[in-house]
Amino acid sequence: MTLDFAFYLIDHRLIALAMVAVLAVVGEIGFRAGSAKGDAPESFRSLMNGTGAATLGLLGLLLGFTLAMAIGRWDARRDIVLSESNAIGTLWLRADLLEGPVRDDIQASLREYTEARIVLGTSWGDLDERRAAQNRSETLHSEIWSAVVRAGTSETNPAILSSLIATANEVIDLSELRLASQRHFLPAPLLLLLLGIASVAIYFLAWSFGAVGYGGRVVVVSLGLLIGAVLFLIMDVNRPQRGTFKVGVETLERVNESFSGSATH
C-alpha cells in the first residue's frame, strides 16, 4: 500500500482537525516567542512581519493551485464514468443488431457488468467488496470479448462487426482508465508541505502580534481555522467515493435501468 493510498484511507475530517490543532499550537508558540522579544528593534519586528506576510501569500498561491488540481481530478473521474456509461449503452445497442444467442450473451454479460461497475463506484469504503467487483468486471471482459469473437465467426455484416469490436475495446479500455483515475490522488507529501508552509506563516504572524503586545490570538486562530477549512475542502474533493463531493454513478444506474426496460428477444 502506497503512502498516498494509506493517507487517502484516513478520515479526512480527523486529518483536518489535526492540522488545525497543529496550527493552533504553532500560533501559541509564536505568540509567546514574540512576547518574550517585545524589546526587539523595530527593524527586526518589521522583518518578521514582512516574512510572515510573504509566506502567507505563497501559501495562498499554493492552496489555489492545489485546489484547482483536486477539482481537475474530480472532473476527470466524473467524465470517465460518463464515457463508460455511454460505451456500455452503445455496445448494448450494437449487440441488438446481432442475431440469436450471441446477442443474448453479450447483453446478459453487459447487465451484470453494469451492476459490477455501479458497485465499484459505491463501495470505496469496503475494499473487499470493491476488489470483488473489479475481479468480476475483469471476468466479464473475457465473456463479452468471447461473445464478440463468436459473432465474427457467423454471418455478421462486416460493418456491424467492426463497430461491435471497436465499442467492446472501448468498454474494456475505459475500465482500466477509471480504475487508474480513482487511484490518481494528490500526493500526500504535497498536503504535508502545505501544512508546513501554513505553520511557518502562522508562526511569523503570531510572533509579530506577540512582539507588539497586542492580543492577536483570535486573529491567529481564525486564520488557522480558515486554512484548515481550505485544506479540508482539498482533501474532500480528492476522495471521489469517500468525501462529501462524491463522484456518482447516476449515469451507470440510468443505463442499467434502460436495460431492464428493454424488450426481451
* 56 has pLDDT over 60: yes
pTM of the full structure: 0.82
Greater confidence, 166 or 37?
166
> What cell does 225 get?
481555522
The tens digit of pLDDT for each residue in 102-158 reads: 999 999 999 999 999 998 888 766 778 888 888 999 999 999 999 998 888 767 788
Mean pLDDT over 91-106 rounds to: 90
Greater confidence, 121 or 200?
200
* 264 has pLDDT over 60: no
> What cell does 51 get?
516574512
What pLDDT does 179 receive? 85
Phi, psi (degrees; rounded to nearest 5) at 40: -65, 150
211 exposure class (CB count in 10 Å sphere: 0-12, 13-18, 19+):
buried
> What cell does 126 get?
469496503
The tens digit of pLDDT for each residue in 4-42 reads: 777 887 888 899 999 999 999 999 998 888 888 766 777
